Amino acid sequence: MNLLDDPSMKEIVDDFCNESKELFLELEDCLEKLEDDPNATVELEKFGQVIDRIMGAAKSVGADDIATFCELGKTIGYKSSQIKDTALLEVVVAILFDSVEILKKMISKIQTKEDHGLKTINTDAFATRLRWLADKFKNIERSSVSYKEEEAEVLDQSSIDDLMSSLGL
C-alpha cells in the first residue's frame, strides 16, 4: 500500500501537505521579488532550494509525481539563475508561478484523496512553455546551487527531457 493511501499514515501525509503549503508562500515570495527585479537571480536559487525541500518530503511520503515535478522546477530555477536576459527571466518567473499553482493543485488532490498525479490537471499549455524553455537552457550545464565545479550537479538537456517525459508533459 502506498503511504499516501495508508490510513495509518494520514497524519504524516497531512503534515507533508501543510508544510508544502507553507513553503508555497516562500516560493511565491521569491517569484514576487523577481517580478519586481528580474535580475535578482539569487531568488531563483532560493526558489530551487525551497522547492527541493518539497521534493524531498514528497519522496518520503511516496508522492513521486510531485517529487519529479519539483525536480523539474528546481532545475529551471537553478539553470535560469545563470542567464542575464531580462525578457527571458520574466518568462521564467511566469512559468515558475504556473508551476507553483500546479503543485498547489497536486497537493490539494492528495488532501482530498483524489488522483495524486498530473493526469487530472490540464498541463498542455504549461508543457509547451516548458519545452520552449528547455530549449533556451540547452547550453547551460550547471543545475545546482554549488559554484564549485567538482560539487556541481550537472543535469544535461536529456535529463530535463526525461523529467518532462516521466510526468507525461
- Asked whether residue 65 is assigned to any structural domain, the reply reads yes
pLDDT at 117: 59
pLDDT at 26: 97
Q: How far is CA 97 from CA 59, 101, 133, 154, in A?
A: 22, 6, 14, 24
- Asked whether residue 115 is assigned to any structural domain, the reply reads yes
Integer Rg of the chain from CA:
16
State the pTM of this model: 0.79
- Asked whether residue 73 is assigned to any structural domain, the reply reads yes
Are 146 and 157 contacting, i.e. CB atoms less than 8 angstroms apart? Answer: no
Of 93, 79, 91, 98, the residue nearest 152 (C-alpha) = 79
- Asked whether residue 38 is assigned to any structural domain, the reply reads yes
Percent of the chain with pLDDT over 70: 76
- Asked whether residue 158 is assigned to any structural domain, the reply reads no
- Asked whether residue 84 is assigned to any structural domain, the reply reads yes
Mean pLDDT along residues 22-38: 96
- Asked whether residue 153 is assigned to any structural domain, the reply reads no
Total tally of structural domains belonging to the chain: 1
Per-residue model confidence as pLDDT tens digits over 106-130: 898 888 877 655 566 667 777 778 7
Which residue segment(s) compose the domain that 63 sits in? 8-146
Query: 126-131 contacts: CB < 8 A, separation 24 or more?
Result: 126/95, 126/98, 126/99, 126/102, 126/169, 127/164, 127/169, 129/91, 129/95, 129/98, 130/72, 130/76, 130/95, 130/164, 130/169, 131/164, 131/169
Percent of the chain with pLDDT over 90: 38
Query: For residue 156, what pLDDT band results from cuts at 50, 70 and 90?
Result: very low
Q: How far is CA 80 from CA 31, 76, 96, 133, 168, in A?
A: 13, 6, 11, 9, 23
- Asked whether residue 157 is assigned to any structural domain, the reply reads no
Q: Is the pLDDT of residue 57 over 60?
A: yes
pLDDT at 27: 97
Looking at per-residue pLDDT, the higher value among 112 and 43 belongs to 43
Per-residue model confidence as pLDDT tens digits over 65-112: 889 889 888 888 888 888 888 999 999 999 999 999 999 988 988 888
Burial tier of 37 (Cβ tally within 10 Å: 0-12, 13-18, 19+): exposed
The per-residue pLDDT of the chain, averaged, comes to: 80
Look up the CATH number of the domain holding residue 134: 1.20.120.160
Q: How far is CA 40 from CA 30, 53, 77, 96, 103, in A?
A: 9, 21, 12, 15, 23
d(CA 20, CA 114): 17
